Amino acid sequence: MKVHILLGPPGCGKGTTAKQLVGEFTLTHLSTGDILRDAVSKGTEIGLRAKAIMAAGKLVDDDTVNGLVFARLQGETHDVLFDGYPRTLQQAQALGTFLSSQAIETGLVVDIEVPENVLEARVVGRRVCSNNDCGAIYHLQNKPPKVENICDKCGSPLKHRADDSSEAFKSRMAEFNATFQPMVDFYRGGKHYRLVDGNNTPDKVFVTVSKLFKENA
């Protein structure tokens, strides 16, 4: 069993790449959100602790996240693909220590790089259907609706979410970079680290990443 890691900023397309990889290789896809939901629904001790932290409106701390992830890895037989974990330097270091202690091999650490102005354009151009039952997503440049500002599927007006504003994007990125960069520096230069150009169509990114996985199988 090996543990592979997909890294990259929000909106870099790593969720899509992860889904494509799971379709092609025998991999267990683990996102922290899924692990968290699973532990909470099973009512494990650490799951309940995480639930209490979230209920108090706080961010789940590194130690709790690590504990959830390590518990989830126990008994896993397939190669694992992490998407969205580790998120901080502390998590990356703790994961390294844990994997060594369990004699689990680190596979690939794939870093999907997308320039910030491209990420911003992806977010700022996004329009969503105002009908919550529909929820269709469009993009002014990449996937415009047939009629301006009207949903193709249900005819409702489209809206620009506050979260998709340039200001909201910039503040999220600043917060993200502060924890992400030290973590990437931890992996960069290591023998598992691969930098992939994510400023491309999802299919082209997938071709590049799947080639890396084939070489590493």
Active site residue 188: no
42 three-state secondary structure: helix
Residues that contact Zn ion, how many (by CB under 5 A): 8
Beta-ladder partners of 82: 5, 30
Member of 78, 153, 188, 211 binding Zn ion (CB under 5 A): 153
User: 115 vs 157, which CB is nearer to Zn ion?
Assistant: 157
Neighbours of 6 (CB within 10 A): 25
Distant-in-sequence contacts of 51-60, Cβ < 8 A, 24+ apart: 60/36
**Binding piece for Zn ion, criterion CB under 5 A, among 4-12, 64-72, 110-118, 155-163:** 155-163
Structure tokens at 48: 């309940």
Any contact of residue 129 with Zn ion (CB under 5 A)? yes
User: 130 vs 199, which CB is nearer to Zn ion?
Assistant: 130
CB of 126 to Zn ion, least distance (A): 14
Quote the CA–CA distance of 4 and 194 in Å, as a whole number.
11
End-to-end C-alpha distance for the chain, whole angstroms? 11
Member of 48, 137, 147, 154 binding Zn ion (CB under 5 A): 154
Nearest residue to 1 (alpha-carbon basis) of 105, 110, 94, 74 = 105
2, 19, 51, 87: which one is catalytic? 87
Any contact of residue 161 with Zn ion (CB under 5 A)? no
CB of 79 to Zn ion, least distance (A): 38
**Binding piece for Zn ion, criterion CB under 5 A, among 110-118, 134-142, 172-180, 185-193:** 134-142
Any contact of residue 158 with Zn ion (CB under 5 A)? no
Report DSSP state, residue 152. T
